[in-house]
Amino acid sequence: MASPAVVYTTAGLLLHSPSMILTHDVILAEIAKGRLAIEPLAPEQIGPASIDLHLGDEIRVFDDGTDPIEVTEDADYRAVTRVRRLDDVYLLKPGETIHAITRERLHLPPDIGGWL
């Protein structure tokens, strides 16, 4: 059986959910324990239940085409994308997909996930 998600207690109540949203205090506790790492990180980036991240200076724009991309161990995203510097506004077209990186580097333990 898989180990349960991290359990927190608040006001004597036992909270356990594999899909719970982490609060500000829980985010800080996970950082203090070293389970969650974000570099660089300023205190004001931590919200009530989120961490604000910054978009990097480049994005990868997928080439035009309607052919499906086969996802394999040796697939190379560079073959189907082009780099675009974000010197100015970028207008994302309907149906277009881009890959972007953040200025921050994140480490999440296996029992914590997030959306970007």
Tokens 């994005």 — which residue? 59
Q: Which residues contact 86 (CB under 8 A, 6 or more apart)?
A: 55, 56, 57, 58, 59
Vertex 62 angle, CA 60 and 68, to 5°: 140
User: Is 17 strand, coil or helix?
Assistant: coil
Radius of gyration of the chain (CA): 19
pLDDT of amino acid 18: 59
Q: Which amino acid is at 23?
A: T
Q: Delimit the domains of the chain by residue range.
A: 1-52, 53-109
Task: Specify the pTM.
Answer: 0.67
**pLDDT of the chain along its 116 residues, tens only?**
444 555 555 454 444 455 688 999 999 999 999 999 999 999 999 999 999 999 999 999 988 776 788 889 998 888 889 999 998 888 998 888 889 999 999 999 988 888 87
pLDDT of amino acid 17: 56
Tell me the residue ranges of DSSP E strands in 1-80: 8-10, 13-15, 37-39, 55-62
State pLDDT tens for residues 11-38: 544 444 556 889 999 999 999 999 999 9
pLDDT of amino acid 56: 93
Residue 66 tokens, joined: 């309607």
Q: How far is CA 19 from CA 6, 26, 66, 88, 113, in A?
A: 11, 14, 35, 37, 9
